[in-house]
Each structure stands twice: as structure tokens, then as C-alpha cells.
Amino acid sequence: MIDIKHKTTGRVLKSIEAASLRGADLRGADLSSAKLRGAELPPAPEIKNIHGVVFAAASQPEALDMGSWHSCDATHCRAGWVVTLAGDEGKALARKIGTNAAAALIYMASDPDLESVPNWYASNEAALADMQVLADREKIVRGIDTEIEEKNS
């Protein structure tokens, strides 16, 4: 039995008769701030330097619309960008378990040190600010410096 609990109150929101979430339909589930460490979930593709890549895509003019998963090919919400940037594997995973769940798994696979899933329901401004903080932290922690990489190429 798996109990999915409210992150603040601890109240059980849903119980699933299963030993794992394999095959669970998580479409529409709000996994904001979900702690998924140790959960047996479908494999997810990884995006190298995910925070910088997502921030670079979402920070372009009219590229971010937190009110819609995918508005068009060039406009997505944060989770939509993660799924899109993960390519065909990301899109296949989203079709299987939903955009928000797929993006959560991709984030966790791409950054094992990420403490919680980003808030998929933040405003455009709050989401971009969080993406920038994570991208800046990623540069420091992983030693990513675009100028140095370009000089060494």
C-alpha cells in the first residue's frame, strides 16, 4: 500500500494498492515539492546541466507560460520545457504518466541533489527567478563556465 500525503498536513490524499508506483496514472497529480527519493518510478531521460538549459530556453521572450503545459512549439510552462528539452524520451514519458510527473522524474534524474520538485503552478516571474537561482547554483557547484568552455574548445 502506498499513501500519497499532503505535504503540509500529512493527510492521506490517495492510497494505491501496490508495492510501487510502476504503472500508476499520475496525470493531473500535483507533485510540487514532492520528495521522490527512493521511489520506484519509470526511468527518465537526463538533461545535462538541466537548470542552465531550462533557464536558457524559458527566459527567451514569450517562451514561458506557466498557465499552460504547451502553448505552441516555442512556448511552454516550466514542466513543459523540461519534457520538451528531454526530446522524444521525455515526450514519451509525459504521454505515459503526464507532463508534471514526467518533468519531476526528469529533474530528479538530471540533478540527483535537487531537494524537491519545482512548483509547477508558480507565476512566470517566480518560476523564472527560481530557474535562475538553480542555474546559477549549478554553474558554481558543477564548475560550469560557458566562457571557459568556449575558450577551451
pTM of the complete model: 0.69
Give me the mean pLDDT over the 72-92 stretch.
93
What's the pLDDT at 41? 66
What are the distances in angstroms from CA 98 to CA 16, 83, 92, 142? Answer: 17, 10, 9, 30
Question: Which stretches of the chain are assigned E, i.e. beta strand?
Answer: 2-5, 12-16, 70-72, 75-76
What's the pLDDT band for 144 if we cut at 50, 70, 90?
low
Q: Residue 82 and residue 49: Cα distance in Å, rounded?
A: 12
Instruction: For residue 4, list its beta bridge partners.
Output: 14
- Per-residue pLDDT tens digits for 46-67: 999 999 999 999 999 999 999 8
Does residue 128 sit in helix, strand or coil?
A: helix
For the chain, the farthest-separated pair of C-alpha atoms sits apart, in whole angstroms, at 55
Given a cut of 50, whether residue 69 has pLDDT beyond it is yes
Q: Where are the domains of the chain?
A: 43-146
What's the pLDDT at 4? 72
Higher pLDDT, 113 or 146: 113
